[in-house]
Amino acid sequence: MDDLSIVTFYRIAKLFPPSAEEYRTKRQKDGSPPPNAKIEVIRAYDGLSAFDSEAGAMRQGIRFPAMGTKVVRYHLPVNGEISWGQSFRAGHYTLAGELDSLAEYLDMEFVVEIH
């Protein structure tokens, strides 16, 4: 696969490799979003948070330490079963689709401790 056919995302994780629990969506963990939620929030309930840079994930991890202590990296095929869209702010994305397969794309050579 050449570099043009993949995209790289970074996520915050509690464990390396992340546990199955870390691949569950907010809807799976907490139920439905509030009835008056904006479409962006509803999409976030059905997806997983990711960043387009290590620095973006690191900043989020420092800001919200309960999310995890590690930054992990994924290389996703552009036309694969996982899709993404920018959400909430520049650099932040929501991953959607066949999220059960996300672990297949984990870069096992990359993990950074949040500091």
Residues in the chain, pLDDT under 50: 1
**Number of domains making up the chain:** 1
- The whole domain housing 99 covers 3-113
33: how many CB neighbours lie within 10 A of its CB? 16
pLDDT of residue 1: 45
pLDDT of residue 2: 52
Tokens of 100: 């059960």
Closest CA to 93 of 19, 23, 10: 10
Q: What is the pTM of this model?
A: 0.91
pLDDT of residue 115: 86
pLDDT of residue 3: 57
Place of tokens 């689709």: 97
Residue 47's domain is classified under what CATH number? Answer: 3.20.170
